[in-house]
Amino acid sequence: MFGFFSNSIENLKKTVSKTAQALIGNVVDTVAEEEEFSEFVLDDMEDLLISADLGVTYAAELVDKLRSQDKIKPSQVKNYLREQFTQVLNDAGSNRLNFSENALNIYFIAGVNGVGKTTLIGKLAYKFKQEGKRVLVAAADTFRAAAEEQLDIWSKRAGADIVRRDKADPASVVFEAIQKARNENYDVILVDTAGRLQNKYNLMEELSKIKSVIDKNAPEALRECILVLDANTGQNGLQQAKVFKDAVALTSVALTKLDGSAKGAIVLAIAKEMNLPVKLIGIGEKMEDLKEFNSSDFIEALFN
Ligand SMILES: Nc1nc2c(ncn2[C@@H]2O[C@H](COP(=O)(O)OP(=O)(O)OP(=O)(O)O)[C@@H](O)[C@H]2O)c(=O)[nH]1
Ligand SMILES: [Mg+2]
């Protein structure tokens, strides 16, 4: 599917190099030369995993497994982490973006303000256009003054069409987009939503209202509810994921701004704590800077 964006492991390695150092390099440097997993060594390891943004619970779990065994030696710590991380990513489910040929595909995009929702939609619109699809974007962020204009610019750039109604109710914009897509045979609707309203409660209310318009009018077309997270927010992203998961049934995560981030371990924390697969990664501000996330490539890039 993503042939157009296919990228070498070498580029991915560059993207995750800071994460690899924080998460694996530092642990290996500290642990591998030790004779055994003493309490002292295990404490150091736990601290390093936590500061790499793996999360307190997950870091403790990884260290506890080493505490209660004597088969794995400190010199094998890299391999141990590799096995653990591989399993967690596999358990969280497939990384492939759901898509059905010859049907309408709706992607609902949510996340707090500034994480990169609108940019992701521009990139996704472009990707689908490159694949010859008919793409409609729905400007359901009617709260922030410049939001619709920004989406308009992205959709023109990508060659997609847009439904926008200044200051209208976001749910009605999505309703209209679904009608238009049906009447005019679109393949894809990308729904852009607000990242900030008067308060968090209002935002969650609005998101579930938009979601229920889709559930009522095109339940068979809803392909993904994607939470967009900024890789640099680290553990804070996990808190965001919990709030959004309660409001709308998330199916996957898009991790943006992974370029240059040292906090890419959030991919693992999200898989572990939320059981959500990361499906897309943003690695820059340009239209082409979107990649399909692939667990085994990610592991490969982290560990080699
Ligand atoms: N480096 C980098 N910057 C990104 C990436 N994705 C988005 N950005 C930048 O992040 C900033 C915010 O992006 P938006 O797409 O406007 O974020 P948003 O979530 O729609 O924001 P709101 O509509 O205010 O909620 C912009 O300056 C983007 O260029 C990425 O993958 N890498
Ligand atoms: Mg936006």
Helix then strand count (H, E) for the chain reads 13, 8
Q: What is the pLDDT of residues 193-236, one digit of tens each?
A: 999 877 888 999 999 999 999 999 999 999 999 999 999 998 88
Q: What's the Cα-to-Cα distance from 60 to each of 109, 151, 229, rounded to whole Å? A: 32, 42, 24
How far apart CA 27 and CA 82 sit, in angstroms, is 12
Q: In what order do the strands lie in the sheet with 135-140?
A: 161-163, 135-140, 188-193, 105-110, 222-230, 252-256, 278-282, 290-292
Residue 151: pLDDT band by 50, 70, 90 thresholds? very high
How far apart CA 18 and CA 260 sit, in angstroms, is 7
Q: Is 159 helix (H, G, I), strand (E, B) or coil?
A: coil
Q: What is the DSSP string of 178-232?
A: HHHHHHTT-SEEEEEE-S--SSHHHHHHHHHHHHHHHHHH-GGGEEEEEEEEEGG
Give the pairing of strands 290-292 and 278-282: antiparallel
Q: What is the pLDDT of residues 238-253, one digit of tens each?
A: 889 999 998 999 999 9
Q: What is the pLDDT of residue 1?
A: 42
Q: How far is the CA of 137 from the centre of ligand 2 (A)?
A: 12
**Cβ of 111 less than 6 Å from ligand 1:** yes
Ligand 1 atom with the smallest distance to the CA of 119 is 15
Q: Record the tokens describing residue 267, joined without a space.
A: 């991919």
Q: How far is the CA of 149 from the centre of ligand 2 (A)?
A: 10
**Cβ of 232 less than 6 Å from ligand 1:** no
Q: What is the pLDDT of residue 235?
A: 87
Question: What Rg, from alpha-carbon coordinates, does the chain have?
Answer: 21
Domains for the chain: give ranges and CATH numbers.
9-91 (1.20.120.140), 105-250 (3.40.50.300)
Indicate which residue's Cα is closest to atom 1 of ligand 1: 284
Q: What is the pLDDT of residue 245?
A: 93
Q: How far is the CA of 146 from the centre of ligand 2 (A)?
A: 9
* Pair 240, 111: CB distance under 8 Å: yes
Low-confidence winner among 16-25, 141-150, 273-282 (lowest mean pLDDT) = 141-150
**Contacts with 4 (C-beta within 8 Å, 6 or more apart), sequence order:** 127, 130, 131
How far apart CA 225 and CA 248 sit, in angstroms, is 8
Ligand 1 atom with the smallest distance to the CA of 282 is 31
**Quick one: what percent of the chain has pLDDT higher than 90?**
86
Indicate which residue's Cα is closest to atom 14 of ligand 1: 116
Q: What is the pLDDT of residues 76-119, one digit of tens each?
A: 999 999 999 999 999 999 999 999 999 999 999 999 999 999 99
pTM: 0.93
- Tell me the average pLDDT of the chain: 93
Q: What is the pLDDT of residue 4?
A: 40
